[in-house]
Amino acid sequence: MKRSAKSQRVCWWFLPKLTRYSLTLLLSALMLADAVGATPRNWVLPPLPPQQPETTQPNATRAAAERVFQEGQQLYQQGTAESLRGAIVKWQAALKLWQQVNDKGWEAIILNNIGFVYYSLGENQEALKYYNQALPIRRAVEDRKGEATTLNNIGIVYNDLGEKQEALKYFNQALPIRRAVNDTGGEAATLNNIGGVYKDLGEKQEALKYYNQALPLSRAVGDRRGEARTLNNIGLVYYLLAEKQEALKYYNQALPLSRAVGDRRGEARTLNNIGLVYYLLAEKQEALKYYNQALPLSRAVGDRRGEATTLNNIGLVYDLLAEKQEALKYYNQALPIRRAVGDRRGEATTLYNIGGVYDSLGEKQEALKYFNQALPIYLAVEDRKGEARTLNNIGGVYNSLGEKQEALKYLNQALPLSRAVGDRGGEATALNNIGGVYDSLGEKQQAIQFYNQALPIRRAVNDTGGEAATLNNIGLVYNSLGEKQEALKYLNQALPLSRAVGDREGEATTLNNIGLVYNSLGEKQQAIQFYNQALPILSAVGDRGGEARTLNNIGNVYNSLGEKQQAIQFYNQSLLLSRAVGDREGEAVTLVNMAVLERSQGNLQQAQTHIQAAIEIIEDLRTKIADQQLRASYFASVQGYYKFYTDLLMQLHKKDPSKGYDALALEVSDRSRARGLIELLTEANIDIKKGIDPKLLAEERRLQWQINAQEKLLSELASKKETPEQVLTNTKQKIQDLLKQQRELEVKIRANNPEYADLKYPQPLTLKQIQQQLDKDTLLLQYSLGEERSYLWAVTPDSLYSYELPKRQQIDKAAKNLYDNYLKNPGYQGVSPEETAKAANELSQLILKPVADKLGQKRLVIVGDEALQYIPFAALTTSTKSADGSDYKPLVVNHEIISLPSASTIAILRKQTTGRTKAPKTLAILADPVFSANDDRVTGKSSNVANNDIDQQLQESALKRSTRNIKRSEIQRLPGTEKEAQEILKLVSPSENIQAFGFDANYNWATNDQLSQYKILHFATHGFLDSTEPELSGIVLSLIDKQGKSQRGFLRLADIFNLNFPAELVVLSACQTGLGEEVKGEGLVGLTRGLMYAGAARVVVSLWNVDDEATSLLMSQFYSQMLQQGKTPAAALRAAQLKMWEQEKWRNPYSWSAFTLLGEWK
């Protein structure tokens, strides 16, 4: 199994931390720079009270009030959270005293100042409460200057709350007052603040307009301090416009002004901002130079907020320089200061950055601890951008831990938030990381779609590091799709970008991935060269998870070169690191690789230990994915592990047949099959919407409405020849996005259902439990097709036999030859029964000959694998001796044949149906629907009547899309089906049946609750299996009513899942109803699954398009054997097929073997 082993050793690598890392820098730096520029607090807190009005109150009270006010002022100047709260206490005491002497002027000042302190502590609502008390008093005493100050301050609070329009409303009230009272300095401050709002709204040119009005006013009044701050803010806008040199120009004008007026606080903040620009220019040492000038200045003037800002930003530089411990040192100095001064937003930012360091060090739980501390603070201060980016990072950590569903939960919260606040960088990051999750789940096309949305945004916002990350990820997808040169094209674009921004971690990631591609191209030395460039960088930057994966990849190369000892050394190093950082996916990959290596050296027991540990990890990770489709995708991506384990156990069995390895191999094989179906059936009896929040149900209805609208639009667009292909593609993508949202909502609904929360999924059966499902007349045949060899297990209640079969390719070729060229050949054009028999015999020799002596005349329960799922075993043979097939005797002569998706499925079906009250009546039958207004049965001929039923229009558009996908130009009438139905009805008394023919064979009849009263449901009509868009699979019923008007007639797969069919048997007497989308590990996913979920104990379906007359005859015989002879459905189907085979006209298996029974055989 060397080829399989080699493919398993490839480690696909997505690194969300690369993306997340650049995000951290932007978030922290922008927030801090913004705080420096946009809040001109020197305009807020007046240093001296205004002229006091005359009063008759005792001077002693006034003196006490002034003294307490000054004490509060001293506490305020200390700048700590504790001292600020002390200032509030003092000022509240002073407030009461001023109220006693009825000094409204002072009362307004105190209220304003208390409001400002609450604002400084991040308690915005409390700040508003005090400002709103100050404002009417200032108006009452006609203190217009004070009124403007308070209006300005209220505007600042609303700005911080993100209510930008409300902020503008107050600033625009303050501005004319300041002009009216000739407060030019105040006018400049408010213009400056309006500029800040427009900057936050992304209207950068409008921001510049206001800043450029403020600037000459500050100059005119000689307010060099205000001038410096406005210059600083203009620099900030140019920084946001990515015009970094222009930003530096303004910062460099602001800096000497701040120095000249002795504004050391302003000087420190401008130095900080200059450092920020150099940081983003990737001039890390230059950035450190300015930060190190800013830091002592902030300390000297007691600007503890500014000190914390600069400490945080120094930490960021060391973070990017990969000096993680140094970064932590500075972050840990910044954090307590931010807490002390009550800077909650800054506290959240530093917590966020510390989380990022621990994430990059591979300490995921520690990272989560810090991110989860930052998140509620961002929520509390209503910083939606910070909230979105933290959600993104938490999602990234869960992805690294292998918890994909949890990762998507957080990322899908981050994406709309980023869009809502106009954070395009954050939006691109979330898109990139969602793509990464889908990539790791095996959903490559889905991943590419998200990466391709992220890439142009990253370019638009000049996020070079992020651009490199996304290019890297796209390259990885192309590598996994086998497009190696395309992969190299993207990776070679990523590498110089990572180097240009000094992102050593990103550089190492891309070097590793280029090595990965060269390894898969067979260029081993080239691969080693790139891995060896990546490894020391990863080690230097402390990325232990990345280091583990590169060590694993180097091990792969040495393994393929035959240098086994070298390989095992690298694998062991990789394993230790993966475990240390909690990278369970990486651990599983390395364990599989070690298992492959040990087996190649003949160390089968050691190989078993490794692969068993890997499978246990996979099983655990699988349970953490709530979305059924994503869980199936993930399981499909790891099927190779189960195949390897199965093969290894069978090799151990060959070596020592007495140890029961063959039984364990059967169990592992069954464990890898139809797990999604087993879990679906387990939850079939739960009403997942019971007791659910009405808001979730409303959201469900909204999504369905949007899906319906897009489907209708797609149908209209597709019917117009002039519609561009891109428009069709975009509309289809919108539908897929909405369907994904619908699945995510279903996960949320289930998570809120107490019954669902208590649900325990059954484990696949052990050999003993499988045997307990069988009786002495039944033989289970379970197949597993492998790269180098395949296996068959034959199981009875008291025995197990196992056989080695030829490799997959050989069996696949024979199976496809039989199915494609003979069995599904309508009218068997140019094919004789003997030629079909010969093809059947070729396959039978490969898969049945070894077990022929065990078959006897037993009932055969078949669990097929891959191509064998399409094969009707009833048509195979064990008795043909002649080469020309002339003595062909099919299995159906001596055996009932039942199919199952897995051995474990029967136990779940029995659990579902045991104790269930059987329906009181016998048969509900539907046949010969009316598909066209041109049908002879239509007499009204009013097909041109407009149809305004939106639901009906949507169903029609879905049916049209499905017919296009399966390349059907028209839906033809099945005239033989009514005859078929009438023959069947002769066997059932009128009181025991219900029937629907022609116009009545419609959607309303098929979905009526009355059908739950019948043991047998029979649908004699077309079934569509759409593998392009599986949600469009369904059963076609009457599309036209008696007046020639269209009516709803497409019973889609989703509708079937919602039906209540507790029937003993459901028969789909239609074309290819047993097929579906083939999903690795799940088998054929189609109508059968929906009907079993709806409650059917058994389903009879077809594997190809069958002749109408032949089907009618077969069905008449089938029902006769069941209803008159009292046979079980399985025995009746066998008898009917046998009678057809015995007739010369119908002897070819094409005519009788298409129908197969799945489910219960008793």
pLDDT in tens, 1037-1061: 888 888 888 777 787 777 777 777 7
- The average pLDDT across 383-395 equals 90
User: Which of 11-15, 189-193, 381-385 is predicted with the least confidence, judged by mean pLDDT?
Assistant: 11-15
Q: Would you say the C-alpha torsion 15, 17, 23, 25 has a positive or negative sign?
A: negative
Token pair in block for residue 247: 């930003």
CA atoms within 13 A on the CB side of 1097: 24
| Three-state SS at 1068 | strand
**How far is Cα 197 from Cα 163, in angstroms, rounded to an integer?**
10
Give the model's pLDDT for residue 69: 92
Going by the DSSP 8-state scheme, the letter that residue 1083 receives in this structure is E
> What local confidence, expressed as pLDDT, does residue 394 receive?
93
- Mean pLDDT of the region 878-894: 76
Quick one: 6 exposed, middle or buried, by C-beta within 10 A (0-12, 13-18, 19+)? Answer: middle
Structure tokens at 178: 């300041």
703 in any annotated domain: yes
Sign of CA dihedral 869, 874, 876, 878: positive
Residue 172: pLDDT over 90 = yes
Tell me: pLDDT of 27 over 60.
no
Q: Which percentage of the chain shows pLDDT scores above 90? A: 35
The Cα 297–Cα 307 span in angstroms is 8
Distances 549 to 475, 483, 508, 513, 574 between C-alpha atoms, Å: 17, 22, 11, 10, 6
In a domain, 687, yes or no: no
Indicate the pLDDT class of residue 329, thresholds 50, 70 and 90: very high
Is residue 944 over pLDDT 60? no
Query: Nearest Cα to 111, choosing from 159, 55, 69, 157?
Result: 69
| Predicted local confidence at residue 214, as pLDDT | 93
What's the confidence (pLDDT) of residue 42?
A: 26
Q: Do residues 1155 and 1100 make contact, with C-beta atoms less than 8 angstroms apart?
A: yes
Pick the closest to residue 1152 from 892, 895, 887, 925 (CA basis).
Answer: 892
> Is the confidence at residue 800, as pLDDT, over 70?
yes
**Residues 6 or more apart whose Cβ sits within 8 Å of residue 829:** none
Last residue of a domain, one of 1063, 1085, 1105: 1105
387-391, 536-540, 638-642, 884-888 — which is least confidently predicted? 884-888
Residue 1065 covered by a domain: yes
Domain assignment present for residue 920? The answer is: yes
Highest averaged pLDDT of the listed ranges 268-282, 743-757, 1134-1148: 1134-1148
pLDDT at 6: 25
pLDDT of residue 47: 31
Where residue 45 falls among pLDDT bands split at 50, 70, 90? very low
Where would I find the H helices in 672-724? 675-682, 694-718
Token output for 509: 């990631």
* CB 552 within 8 Å of CB 11: yes
Place of tokens 């720079």: 33
- What pLDDT is stored for residue 606 in this prediction? 92
Q: How far apart are CA 591 and CA 1013, in angstroms?
A: 53
On whether residue 420 sits in a domain, the answer given is no
Which residues have CB under 8 Å from 21's CB, separation 6+? 319, 320, 356, 360, 465, 503, 505, 506
Number of domains observed in the structure of the chain = 2
Kindly state the average pLDDT of the residues 904-923.
Answer: 82
Q: Is the pLDDT of residue 942 over 50?
A: yes
Q: In this predicted model, which residue has the larger pLDDT, 258 or 625?
A: 258
Res 1143 pLDDT > 80:
yes
User: Is residue 82 pLDDT above 60, yes or no?
Assistant: yes
- Range of lowest pLDDT (438-452, 749-763, 882-896): 749-763
The conformational region for residue 941 under phi > 0 = left, psi -120 to 50 = alpha, else beta, is: left
pLDDT (0 to 100) of residue 119? 84
pLDDT at 1017 over 60: yes
Give the highest mean pLDDT range of 33-47, 68-82, 325-339, 895-909: 325-339
pLDDT at 322: 75
| For residue 400, pLDDT beyond 90 | no
Give the residue-averaged pLDDT of 299-319.
Answer: 87
Which pair of tokens denotes residue 531?
A: 């891995």
Q: What is the mean pLDDT of residues 187-194?
A: 92
Residue-level pLDDT at 751: 64
Per-residue pLDDT tens over the stretch 252-282? 999 999 889 888 888 888 898 899 888 877 7
Has residue 299 got a pLDDT over 70? yes
Q: Is the pLDDT of residue 1125 over 80?
A: yes
H or E segment at 787? none
pLDDT at 632 over 80: no
How many Cα neighbours within 13 Å face the side chain of 1068? 35
Mind listing the pLDDT tens digit for each residue in 544-560? 888 998 999 999 999 98
Side-chain half-sphere of 1084: how many Cα atoms within 13 Å? Answer: 26
Torsion over CA: 219, 221, 225, 231 (sign) = negative
Rounded CA-CA distance 401/110 in Å is: 53
Residue at which a domain ends, from 1105, 1128, 1154: 1105
In this predicted structure, the answer to whether residue 1026 has a pLDDT above a threshold of 60 is no
List the domain range (segments joined by +) for residue 747. Answer: 694-758
* Tens digits of residue pLDDT in 721-737: 677 777 777 777 777 77
Greatest mean pLDDT among 663-677, 763-777, 791-805 lies in 791-805
pLDDT for residue 13: 33
Beta strands in 864-935 (DSSP E): 897-899, 921-929
Q: Which residues of 949-981 are buried (b: 16+ CB within 10 A; e: fewer)?
A: eeebbbbbbbbbbbbebbeeeebebbebbbbbb
Q: Enumerate the β-bridge partners of residue 926.
A: 996, 1019
Q: Is the dihedral of CA 159, 164, 170, 174 positive or negative?
A: positive
Q: What is the pLDDT of residue 29?
A: 22
pLDDT tier at 502, thresholds 50, 70, 90: confident
How far is it between the farthest Cα atoms of the chain? 128
1011 pLDDT higher than 80: yes
Average pLDDT, the chain: 81
191-219 average pLDDT score: 90
CB neighbours of 982 closer than 8 A, spacing ≥ 6? none
Which residue has 């930008």 as its token pair?
164
C-alpha angle 1021-1023-1029 in degrees, rounded to nearest 5: 155
DSSP string, 242-307: T-HHHHHHHHHHHHHHHHHTT-HHHHHHHHHHHHHHHHHTT-HHHHHHHHHHHHHHHHHTT-HHHH
User: Cα(194)–Cα(291) distance, rounded to whole angstroms?
Assistant: 29
Q: Under a CB-based contact definition with an 8 Å cutoff, are residues 149 and 178 in contact?
A: no
More confident site: 312 or 903: 312
Task: Measure CA of the first residue to CA of the last residue in the chain; give whole Å.
Answer: 39
Query: pLDDT-based confidence at 215, cuts 50/70/90?
Result: very high
Reply yes or no on whether the pLDDT at 304 is more than 90: no
Q: Does 593 reside within a domain?
A: no
Percent residues over pLDDT 70 in the chain: 82
Measured CA to CA, the distance from residue 197 to residue 215 in angstroms comes to 17
Q: How far is CA 173 from CA 50, 168, 468, 1152, in A?
A: 22, 8, 47, 86
User: Does residue 14 carry a pLDDT above 50?
Assistant: no
The dihedral of CA 481, 483, 488, 494: what is its sign?
A: negative
| pLDDT exceeds cutoff 90 at 420 | no
Helix (H) or strand (E) holding 800: strand 799-805
Q: Answer whether residue 212 shows pLDDT above 90.
A: yes
**Residue 995 reports pLDDT greater than 50:** yes
Q: Write down which residue in 721, 737, 758 finishes a domain.
A: 758
Residue type, 1118: F
Residue 1081's pLDDT band, with cuts at 50, 70 and 90, is: very low
pLDDT category at 759 given cuts 50, 70, 90 is very low
Residue 1139 is encoded by which pair of tokens?
């009678």
182-196, 566-580, 973-987: which has the minimum mean pLDDT? 973-987
Q: Give the number of C-alpha atoms closer than 13 A to the C-alpha of residue 104, restricted to the C-beta side.
A: 12
Q: Mind listing the pLDDT tens digit for each residue in 654-691?
A: 999 999 999 999 988 888 775 555 555 555 454 545 55
Q: What tokens were used for 51?
A: 């002229």
Sign of CA pseudo-dihedral 281, 316, 545, 621: negative
The whole-angstrom separation of Cα 1149 and Cα 823 is 7
| pLDDT above 60 (res 37) | no
CB 630, CB 404: distance < 8 Å: yes
Kindly state the tokens that stand for 19: 């993306």
Q: Which residues contact 179 (CB under 8 A, 6 or more apart)?
A: 187
| Amino acid type, 1107 | D
**DSSP tag of 1069:** -
Write phi, then psi, for 778 (nearest 5 degrees): -120, 135
DSSP 1001-1035: SSHHHHT-GGGGGEEEEEEES-EE--SSSGGG-EE
pLDDT band for position 605 (50/70/90)? very high
Q: pLDDT at residue 346 above 70?
A: yes
Alpha helices in 852-975 (DSSP H): 852-855, 903-913, 950-965
Instruction: Let me know if residue 1087 belongs to a domain.
Output: yes
Query: How far, in Å, CA of 929 to CA of 1036, rounded?
Result: 8
| Higher per-residue confidence, 745 vs 296 | 296
β-strand pairing of 993-998 with 921-929: parallel
Ranges of H-type helices in 582-691: 584-600, 604-623, 628-637, 639-655, 661-671, 675-682
pLDDT band at residue 805 under the 50/70/90 scheme: very high
1046 contacts 947 by C-beta, under 8 angstroms: yes
pLDDT score recorded for residue 1077: 45
> Tens of pLDDT along 84-140?
889 999 999 999 999 988 999 899 999 999 998 888 777 888 999 999 999 999 999
Range ranked top by mean pLDDT from 495-509, 611-625, 942-956 = 495-509
SS3 content of the chain, % helix, strand, coil (to 5): 70, 5, 25
H-assigned helices in 848-914? 852-855, 903-913
564 located within any domain:
no
